[in-house]
């Protein structure tokens, strides 16, 4: 009896996946519900478990192959394979008693006593010195180096010793072939070492794009081609947010077991802005506009495989602590490749924090079918004018990219201005929650 390993349902609008890697080899045993193969989709990676206890008897697709939902990946046989036993090599079989005798390989060890006996049999011969005395190789090298170093200047000798240069590979340009300082400098500058990556992979590398990277490329291009995308900018003085974090950080961490970050302030500020300007929380569906009365904030997370945008659901009903905890939990799932389809669906607005990588300013691209995305950037001390005086303040540039088809310039600019005001006076966040 055997069971087939099928490609499971992968979620909404996902019809195919890529075989990332088989977790066991053909012929190996596996228990029921243990992962047997890992698949990669355009959104998440998932492991397909074994349906029964048994042995992987058949593999129909190799790593890198594209498979569709319902495809038979392989077969699990319910007859468990026997473990391979490595026995010692039999040297003799006694057929009469059906007994196998084993002999350990005997190492040939020198017999000290035999050597002594042989030595006794040999005639003692007097030790006669040859014409040339026995000289160690190192002594010869040392003598050669000493003799060659006599012609080197102190500066040249220092370069040779510090860089461990073989003088035999250097052609001197001085009198009688004497090695000069310029000869060593020219030699070291003329032959730089190639990069480690070039040594390891060659002149060029050609690697197939992952499903995730292909999807990112398609979605970004689709957003550019199908939306009337426009970006508006503003700046925010982060002084009061930084001060509030500093004053309440210890108490917040002791009370909730997590640090108070910037993202919770931005999420709350954006939610208040979305409530005031519903078109930024809407999307186009054919000839209709869908206005959403819930606030699921997507946030961009950079992973080794590419950018993913998981979702925080119902952020208007979350406290600061709940926002920070969920951000940490989902970010860890993203970096470990444990996100599910549900973690990536249903977002209404996106926040992208390029500031963690040092970005000063950017124009974020829409996360289709959403109509707005806020770009956060690096906090840098800049001079600003306050009450007629120049002050140095921590300033962040904000960028709002939006779909001009349903969002007017007035609403986009007003939204960003409201976010700015709520952050510059974070007490406002608690007045309208």
> What pLDDT is recorded for position 106?
46
Whole-angstrom Cα distance, residue 425 to residue 239? Answer: 9
C-beta neighbour count of 69 within 10 angstroms: 14
Whole-angstrom Cα distance, residue 139 to residue 227? Answer: 80
> What pLDDT is recorded for position 80?
46
Whole-angstrom Cα distance, residue 179 to residue 381? Answer: 55
Pairing of strands 90-94, 72-77: unpaired
Residue 22 has φ and ψ, to the nearest 5°, of -85, 130
Whether residue 249 contacts residue 376, with contact meaning beta carbons closer than 8 Å, is answered with: no
3-class SS at 170? coil
Whether residue 39 contacts residue 212, with contact meaning beta carbons closer than 8 Å, is answered with: no
Q: Which residues pair with 48 in a beta bridge?
A: 37
3-class SS at 131? coil
3-class SS at 38? strand
Stretch (H or E) spanning 283: strand 282-285
Q: What is the pLDDT along the chain (433 residues), one digit of tens a residue?
A: 788 888 888 766 677 888 888 888 888 888 888 888 888 876 677 788 888 888 888 898 888 888 888 888 889 888 644 443 334 444 444 444 444 444 444 445 555 444 444 444 545 555 555 555 544 444 444 444 444 554 677 778 888 887 778 878 787 887 778 888 777 777 776 555 667 777 777 778 787 877 777 777 877 787 878 788 999 999 999 999 999 999 999 999 999 999 999 999 999 999 999 999 999 999 999 889 999 999 999 998 887 777 788 999 999 999 999 999 999 999 888 888 888 888 888 999 999 998 888 889 999 999 888 999 999 999 999 999 988 999 999 999 999 999 999 999 999 999 999 999 999 999 998 877 6
Look at phi and psi of residue 70 and say left if phi exceeds 0, alpha if psi is from -120 to 50, else beta: left
Whole-angstrom Cα distance, residue 73 to residue 61? Answer: 6
Whether residue 254 contacts residue 393, with contact meaning beta carbons closer than 8 Å, is answered with: no
> What pLDDT is recorded for position 397?
96
> What pLDDT is recorded for position 159?
81
Whether residue 8 contacts residue 69, with contact meaning beta carbons closer than 8 Å, is answered with: yes
Whole-angstrom Cα distance, residue 157 to residue 175? Answer: 17
Catalytic positions: 404, 408
Q: Which of 62, 58, 71 is nearest to 27 (CA)?
A: 58
**Domains by residue range for the chain, with CATH:** 2-77 (2.40.50.100), 211-430 (3.30.559.10)
User: Is the pTM above the cut of 0.85?
Assistant: no
H-type alpha helices, 169-210: 181-190, 196-201
- Please give the DSSP secondary-structure letter assigned to residue 81: P
Whole-angstrom Cα distance, residue 61 to residue 5? Answer: 11
């Amino acid at each position: 009896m055997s069971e087939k390993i099928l490609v499971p349902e992968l979620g909404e609008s996902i019809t195919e996946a890529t075989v990332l890697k088989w977790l066991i080899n053909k012929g190996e045993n596996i228990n029921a519900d243990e992962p047997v193969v890992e698949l990669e989709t355009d959104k998440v990676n998932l492991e397909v478990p074994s349906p029964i206890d048994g042995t992987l008897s058949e593999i129909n697709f190799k790593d890198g192959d594209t498979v569709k939902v319902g495809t038979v990946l392989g077969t699990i046989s319910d007859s468990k394979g026997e473990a391979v036993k490595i026995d010692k090599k039999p040297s003799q079989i006694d057929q009469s008693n059906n007994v196998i005798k084993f002999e350990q390989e005997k190492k040939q060890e020198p017999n000290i006593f035999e050597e002594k006996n042989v030595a006794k049999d040999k005639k003692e011969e007097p030790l006669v010195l040859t014409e040339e005395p026995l000289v160690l190789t190192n002594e010869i090298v040392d003598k050669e180096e000493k003799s060659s170093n006599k012609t080197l200047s102190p500066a040249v000798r220092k370069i040779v010793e510090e860089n461990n240069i073989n003088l035999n590979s250097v052609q001197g340009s001085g009198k009688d072939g004497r090695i000069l300082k310029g000869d060593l400098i020219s030699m070291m500058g003329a032959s730089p070492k190639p990069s480690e990556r070039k040594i390891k992979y060659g002149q060029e590398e050609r690697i197939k794009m992952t499903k995730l990277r292909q999807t990112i490329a398609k979605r970004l291009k689709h957003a550019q081609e199908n939306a009337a995308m426009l970006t508006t900018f503003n700046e925010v003085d982060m002084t009061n947010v930084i001060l509030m974090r500093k004053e309440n950080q210890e108490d917040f961490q002791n009370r909730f077991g997590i640090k108070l970050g910037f993202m919770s302030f931005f999420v709350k500020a954006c939610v208040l802005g979305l409530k005031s300007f519903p078109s930024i929380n809407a999307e186009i569906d054919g000839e209709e506009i869908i206005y959403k009365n819930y606030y699921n904030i997507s946030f961009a997370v950079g992973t080794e495989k590419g950018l993913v945008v998981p979702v925080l659901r119902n952020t208007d009903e979350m406290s600061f602590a709940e926002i920070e905890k969920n951000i940490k939990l989902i970010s860890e799932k993203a970096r470990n490749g444990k996100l599910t389809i549900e973690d990536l669906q249903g977002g209404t607005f996106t926040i992208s924090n390029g500031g963690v990588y040092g970005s000063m300013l950017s124009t974020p691209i829409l996360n289709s079918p959403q109509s707005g995305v806020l770009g956060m950037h690096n906090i840098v001390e800049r001079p600003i004018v306050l009450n007629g005086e120049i002050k140095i303040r921590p300033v962040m540039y904000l960028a709002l990219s939006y779909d001009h088809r349903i969002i007017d310039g007035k609403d986009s600019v007003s939204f960003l201005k409201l976010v700015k005001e709520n952050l510059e006076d974070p007490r406002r966040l608690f007045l309208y929650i």
